Amino acid sequence: MRFHWLFGVVRYQIGIPSTSEAKPDSKRIPAKKTGKHIKGTHAQGVFALLKQSDFFRRTIRFIKDLLRATHARDLYLRLRIGLGDPADTGRLWALLGPAAGIATNLRSADVHIEPEFMDPVLEVESHGEVRLIPLQFIALATAFVVSPTTLRAWRTLHRSNA
């Protein structure tokens, strides 16, 4: 994976090892779940914000704007996936199959998702070019944060938590 910034002046390459096995870390002790529910958690606040129809529409528009600001060219993705059990792979393909059908219609991408029903496998082959212009993202984020809809939603959330 290569990262280019400032018209290629700053270049950084990230190497991805071809095969590696994760070693279990015997020092890590899993955290115990207490089952206690704290009133006013962060997730509840986010869901309360998204229940407001104006804020939900503004958030969807913001996500669409971010996707439009991402300039992708010549993308290629080949994904071969299998779980070993044909029944489990069939269930997974029931979720991924429609996405594969939609992905084949993308103009700037060549996407192939293939199920493998007999062997457990995950193969990913990908290349392409994605350009992100930081000033565009900063401008979109600023416009989202200072929009009247967002300010109204945050004010409502703040009042309900106070």
In a domain, 144, yes or no: yes
What are the residues whose beta carbons fall under 8 Å from the beta carbon of 90, sequence distance 6 or more? 115, 117
Q: Please check whether residue 19 lies inside any domain of the structure.
A: no
1 is a domain residue: no
Under 8 Å between Cβ of 128 and 36: no
Task: Tell me if 30 is assigned to some domain.
Answer: no
- 4 part of a folded domain: no
Tell me whether residue 20 is in a domain.
no
Binned at pLDDT 50, 70 and 90, residue 150 comes out as confident
- 4-61 per-position pLDDT tens digit: 666 666 777 777 666 555 555 555 555 555 544 444 555 666 666 767 778 888 888 9
Local confidence band at 102 (pLDDT 50, 70, 90 cut-offs): confident
Q: Total domain count for the chain?
A: 1
124 inside domain: yes
- Measured between alpha carbons, how far is residue 74 from residues 59, 64, 88, 129 in Å? 28, 21, 33, 6
Could you give the maximum distance between any two Cα atoms of the chain, in Å? Answer: 56
pTM: 0.51
Q: What is the mean pLDDT of residues 95-115?
A: 80
Question: Which pLDDT score, from 0 to 100, does residue 37 have?
Answer: 45
Q: Count CA atoms within 13 Å of residue 145 on its CB side.
A: 6
The pLDDT value recorded for residue 146 is 92
In a domain, 7, yes or no: no
Show the domain range for 102: 46-161
Percent of the chain scoring above 90 in pLDDT: 9
